[in-house]
Structure 1
Amino acid sequence: MPEPFVAYLRVYEPLSSFDAPLREELAAAVERGPVDPFDAGLREQDVWLRSQLAAPPRLLPGETADGAVQGVGDVLVLDPKEVPSAPAATVGPGPLVCPLDLRGRSAAALVGFLGDSELPLRTAALTVPVEQAKVRASAVVSELAGGAVHVLSSTWTVPLPWFVLVDPTERCVFTEPDRRRVCWRVAMADARRRVARAHSIGRQSIGEEGPTRILRETGRWLERFHPHSAVELDYGGLVQLMTSSDLEADTSAEDVHAIVDAMEADDAEEVATRYESLRDFWSEFAARERHN
């Protein structure tokens, strides 16, 4: 089974920054063994499928049949030494942990699905009455009011504003037999600074909607985490769709940063040129989404 065609924006917080008893639960998850980053998408897919194939099926992964929470679940772990940062930025101490937060993320996705889909589709997809699903999923989302999920995901493509967070020159390409991984890592302080600048420029140049709104929401999300955290932009399963030539031709991060600079300089021609390059590169993947 192929890895889901999903890209990720993740936050890794210092384990020591969590309050008890969550800190102890996360430490136990780290001791059991973190998820291999190469397998994160497949692990999420497996946990979700198992929840739906259980008898009786679970509404959300990480729950028992009656909705009780089973624990913190899986985590990813990152060494602060693997995070490039500006001299003024601090990352750590380690280990840095990123809970996959599947229950909360699934609940948020379910709330969106129930709000957007037609009744026949909702009825066919759910194993419990629609109203019961809505109440339970909304309650889980409400539990997140005091915190935030550590992972944002996007199917088939990478939201272009996400590239604002990273240093284009710090791309990491990891290879193992028959598989690859492409990601950027950045100190939280650097990510917040870049998002704030891009949002300010975008608001003055194109207004508060579109990419500027995504930057505003991303900035607010980042503010909910420890300031010494790390942020990771991971192509995830999208790498399966990319040839080596695609990766060599991928200048998305450079183009997005150039667009922000050109907007600040009021250089409309440069903005148009760079946007056309981005559109040409990502249009192939957008087409595959439509075909699926």
Structure 2
Amino acid sequence: MLPYTAYLRVYQPITAFSPRDRRHWEGYAESADRPKRVNALAAEHAESLGRTIATPPVVAPSEESGDAYLRRVNERLYVCPWQTRLRCWRAFEEFAGSMPRAQLEAFVPAREADRAETGYRQWRASGAEARPGILSSTWTIPIPWFVAFEPQERCLVLSAGRTRTLLYLTRTAQARRRLDHTAAVLRERVGEHAVSAAAERLTEWLATTAHPESLLELDYGGLPHLLSDDHLSEDHSVGEVAEAVEALAKGDAARVKELRERLTRRWRSVRALEHAN
């Protein structure tokens, strides 16, 4: 888990959990010891850093996290469990599959890699649900994530202290309708190939992960700490993507091109910071 990462989170209504889990999360919400909303991401990063700098590094905790992100909307509690162990397992599986085993051992000792792989394999064999409620993206935000939201759902907080936040919050049902609408426009105006694999994976993830009454949150996470106040204030990527979709539906190719170039310039400048000295 890196500091310059954005997140897409599904918040399930408390009624979506089993009675046992419901009691846990209701008690957690009332606890004075849990990380509060403003500090939760920093607490999650600190926990991850502790495992990374350990000797040897720890790929995944031995037990699943009991922490969560919480929201209350109209007095109703919504919960997004951290699922730290599951997310670490999945991230390591992807990382390990991207390089030869001998090269992998330069990052993670073979014994620790075997421990993580065995733990994940046994967990899946038990029939446990293998889908996380949080997706992450480092140094950039995938375009399909923007499609799920509308401009009026934006929340920007800038302060002289550590609080710098840009996020969007919507009903998951609304997000799915927007994704379906965009896919339909792309298929009609451009062709079947225009709907990206990333958009299809996002739609499928929401269909199989999210409760019908859940919430979906796009959190710029650590990215605001890289960017100036002006950059964040002028970042209306969600609105620009929505406008581009409607321009495409109307056949306004010039406006689509203009908006696409604006988005490309903005996010190219952010991605370039990954390689800055």
The TM-score bracket by the shorter chain reads 0.7 to 0.9
Counterpart secondary structure, 1:124: coil
**Residue of structure 2 equivalent to 1:60:** 60
Identity score, percent: 31
With over 3 angstroms needed to count, the CA separation of the structure-2 counterparts of 1:201 and 1:94, relative to structure 1, is same
Q: CA deviation at 1:211?
A: 5.6
**Residue of structure 1 equivalent to 2:171:** 187
Counterpart secondary structure, 1:135: helix
- Contact 1:114–1:134 (CA<8 Å) still a contact in 2? no
**Residue of structure 2 equivalent to 1:215:** 199
Bigger mean CA offset, 264-273 vs 51-60:
51-60
Bigger mean CA offset, 260-269 vs 127-136:
127-136
- Contact 2:65–2:84 (CA<8 Å) still a contact in 1? no
TM-score computed with the length of structure 1 as normaliser? 0.83
Q: Output the CA distance in 2 between the equivalents of 1:122 and 1:51.
A: 17
With over 3 angstroms needed to count, the CA separation of the structure-2 counterparts of 1:139 and 1:206, relative to structure 1, is farther
**Residue of structure 2 equivalent to 1:239:** 224
**Residue of structure 1 equivalent to 2:69:** 76
**Residue of structure 2 equivalent to 1:30:** 29
Q: Give the residue type in structure 2 aligned to 1:49.
A: L
Unaligned 5+ segments in structure 1 are 64-68, 82-92
With over 3 angstroms needed to count, the CA separation of the structure-2 counterparts of 1:142 and 1:46, relative to structure 1, is farther
RMSD (CA atoms): 2.6
Q: Output the CA distance in 2 between the equivalents of 1:148 and 1:168.
A: 28
Q: Output the CA distance in 2 between the equivalents of 1:272 and 1:233.
A: 25
- Contact 1:202–1:212 (CA<8 Å) still a contact in 2? no
Counterpart secondary structure, 2:251: coil
User: Does residue 156 of structure 1 match 2:139?
Assistant: yes
**Residue of structure 2 equivalent to 1:40:** 40
**Residue of structure 2 equivalent to 1:84:** none
Matched ranges for 1:1-292 at <5 A: 4-32=3-31, 33-52=33-52, 58-61=58-61, 63=62, 69=63, 71-81=64-74, 94-129=76-111, 130-140=113-123, 146=129, 148-178=131-161, 179-207=163-191, 212-223=196-207, 224-291=209-276
Q: Give the residue type in structure 2 aligned to 1:253.
A: V
Q: Give the residue type in structure 2 aligned to 1:261.
A: E
- Contact 2:9–2:133 (CA<8 Å) still a contact in 1? yes
TM-score computed with the length of structure 2 as normaliser? 0.87
- Contact 1:199–1:212 (CA<8 Å) still a contact in 2? no
With over 3 angstroms needed to count, the CA separation of the structure-2 counterparts of 1:143 and 1:233, relative to structure 1, is farther
Q: Output the CA distance in 2 between the equivalents of 1:159 and 1:203.
A: 19
Q: CA deviation digits over 1:77-120, x for unaligned, max 9?
A: 11114xxxxxxxxxxx7111111111111111000011002333
Counterpart secondary structure, 1:279: helix
Counterpart secondary structure, 2:19: coil
